[in-house]
Amino acid sequence: MTLRKWDPFRELLELQERMNRLLETTMLGGSGTSLAPPSWTPAADGYETTEAFVLQLELPGVDQEDVEIHVDGDTLAVRGQRRMQGQVDSFHRMERSFGPFARTFKLSQEVDPDGVTAQFKDGLLKLEVPKLHRRGSWRGRPEKRE
C-alpha cells in the first residue's frame, strides 16, 4: 500500500472540481434533450494540439451505443447513459452511479464537426476534434492545392 502525504490544497481542488460538475449538471438539466436530467458526471481531461482539441472521458460500464456526441460551432456535447446490468432485488452497497450523463465543453475556436474521430476502449472515450482553419488564419501545415 502506498501512503500519500495529506495535501489540503489537493483536497480543495477536488472540491472545486466537484462543485464545477454540480453546477454544470444543474445548468444542463433543462437542455431540451430526450434524456432525463443528468444523474452523474464522468471525469474528463482535455488538451489542445496545433491541429485539434482532444478530450478523454471516463465511461466505465457504458456501452458505446449509449453515447451521443454533438458538435455545434465551438461547443462539444457528450451525452449518454450507464445502464444497470441484470435484475437486483436489493443492494448492500451502491457507490457507482447509473442513469443519464451529459457534459458540454466550450472550445476556444470553431471546429470541424465532420472530422471528429472517436476511440472507445477500456471504458475511456477519446475524442479528437479538428480545428476549423479559415483562409488566412491557419496554423501549422499549409493546405495542399491542386
In CATH, what number is assigned to the domain containing residue 69? 2.60.40.790
pLDDT at 31 over 50: no
- What is the pTM assigned to this prediction? 0.66
pLDDT at 136 over 80: no
pLDDT at position 92: 82
Strand, helix or coil for residue 10: helix
Q: Is residue 23 part of a domain?
A: yes
Q: Is residue 138 part of a domain?
A: no
> C-alpha cell of 27?
445548468
Q: Is residue 20 part of a domain?
A: yes
- pLDDT band at residue 131 under the 50/70/90 scheme: very high
Q: Is residue 92 part of a domain?
A: no
Per-residue pLDDT reduced to its tens digit, 56-97: 999 999 999 999 999 998 899 999 999 988 888 888 888 888
pLDDT at position 30: 43
What domain range includes position 120? 8-86+98-130
Residue with cell 466505465: 60
Q: Is residue 42 part of a domain?
A: yes
Other residues' Cβ atoms within 10 Å of the Cβ of residue 111: 21
Q: Is residue 22 part of a domain?
A: yes
Number of domains in the chain: 1
- Spatial contact of 143 and 134, defined as CB atoms under 8 Å apart: no
